[in-house]
């Protein structure tokens, strides 16, 4: 029987997932009903065999793609190490792959992040920098805001002499629709402390990541 998108969506039974649902956050059943509506809006029949399990798959995919709402990125940076034998040079992680979603069209933008900081007595495990990027990326974003959030989290928690963050990404909202320009990438940066105030430090960072 063809799906009638004019019918009101059924009221979901959220009893099963109530303990994990945040206030005002719909449950899984409501999310799946919304996907069925979008499938019908696209012109297809959500009741046909190939689409029967699509709503549940999409709901699970959303939980994974937007898992950043469930974590505090600052917490990844709280465990630091002060036994560095006086190391005070730049710490740089290049080419941290990320996938985020444009908050305007909910389409992916995919790219890499370069993150650097000048430590002040303490450093953080390198995997934690990648986790901070991932945590902020797995939310609805714009690239400019994502860049600022990553840099400011590191600056706030580690209190280094400075932080540098550069993101380069391709936006599917620009390549799949609208102006339709594939292959175009967007570059954003955020510099704090010595990276902003000292041109030599900034140039060193940009040279190390190939953006000089």
Show which residues are catalytic.
Answer: 102-105, 143, 171, 173
- Structure tokens given for 176: 């799949």
- Structure tokens given for 132: 């901070």
- Structure tokens given for 3: 């799906």
Query: What secondary structure does DSSP assign to 58-122, as a single string?
Result: HHHHHHHHTGGGGS-GGGGGS-EE--STT--S-EEEEEEEEEEEETTT--EEEEEEEEEEE-SS-
What Å distances lie between residue 175 and 50, 66, 76, 77, CA to CA?
Answer: 27, 22, 34, 35
The CA-based angle 49-54-58, given to 5 degrees, is 180
CA distance 132 to 100: 13
What Å distances lie between residue 200 and 21, 75, 166, CA to CA?
Answer: 49, 31, 17
- Dihedral sign (CA 13, 19, 25, 28): negative
């Amino acid at each position: 029987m063809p799906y009638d998108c004019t019918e009101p969506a059924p009221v979901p039974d959220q009893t099963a997932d109530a303990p994990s649902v945040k206030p005002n956050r719909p449950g899984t059943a409501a999310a799946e009903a919304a996907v069925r509506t979008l499938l019908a809006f696209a012109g297809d029949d959500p009741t046909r065999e190939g689409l029967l399990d699509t709503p549940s798959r999409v709901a699970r995919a959303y939980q994974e793609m937007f898992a950043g709402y469930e974590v505090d990125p600052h917490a990844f940076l709280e465990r630091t190490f002060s036994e560095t034998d006086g190391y005070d040079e730049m710490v740089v992680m290049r080419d941290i792959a990320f996938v985020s979603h444009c908050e305007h069209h909910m389409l992916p933008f995919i790219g890499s992040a370069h993150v650097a900081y000048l430590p002040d007595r303490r450093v953080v495990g390198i995997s934690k920098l990648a986790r901070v990027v991932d945590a902020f990326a797995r939310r609805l974003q714009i690239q400019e805001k994502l860049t600022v959030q990553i840099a400011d989290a590191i600056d706030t928690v580690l209190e280094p002499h400075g932080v540098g963050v550069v993101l380069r990404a391709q936006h599917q909202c620009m390549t799949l629709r609208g102006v339709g320009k594939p292959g175009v990438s967007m570059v954003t940066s955020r510099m704090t402390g010595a990276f902003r105030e000292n041109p030599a430090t900034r140039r060193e960072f940009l040279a190390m990541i190939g953006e000089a």
